[in-house]
Amino acid sequence: DAGVIQSPRHEVTEMGQEVTLRCKPISGHDYLFWYRQTMMRGLELLIYFNNNVPIDDSGMPEDRFSAKMPNASFSTLKIQPSEPRDSAVYFCASSWATTNYGYTFGSGTRLTVV
């Protein structure tokens, strides 16, 4: 299995632009998670899905952020409009029916908003 695949690896965009981050989870995994990592705030859970349904989006910082999972093999995290304070590394992770087996993380997308 290729693991959790995220794209792009790096994204540089101007303030006000729309940014879309993509994630392909491991086939057969029921859970998908989006995290944001910064030096100041560490690792923050933004949202997670179970069987493509959003379960908890309380970590989404504001209405500029949205996430979708149209099918079991694809998810997007969109920021519109982007701001410099959104600069961070965004990770996607997936797991089996219970997270007691552990997550598998993607390599992340490093977003820089200038």
Residues in touch with other proteins (CB under 8 A): 4, 33, 42-43, 45, 48, 50, 55-56, 91, 93, 98-108
Angle formed at CA 48 by CA 91 and CA 106, multiple of 5 degrees: 25
Smaller CB distance to other proteins: residue 15 or 55? Answer: 55
Smaller CB distance to other proteins: residue 71 or 100? Answer: 100
- Nearest approach in angstroms of CB 104 to other proteins is 7
CA 72 to chain centre: 15
Residues near 104 by beta carbon (within 8 Å), at least 6 away in sequence: 3, 4, 26, 29, 93, 94, 95
Smaller CB distance to other proteins: residue 20 or 104? Answer: 104
- Nearest approach in angstroms of CB 28 to other proteins is 17
In this structure, the strands spanning 109-113 and 104-105 are unpaired
- Nearest approach in angstroms of CB 35 to other proteins is 9
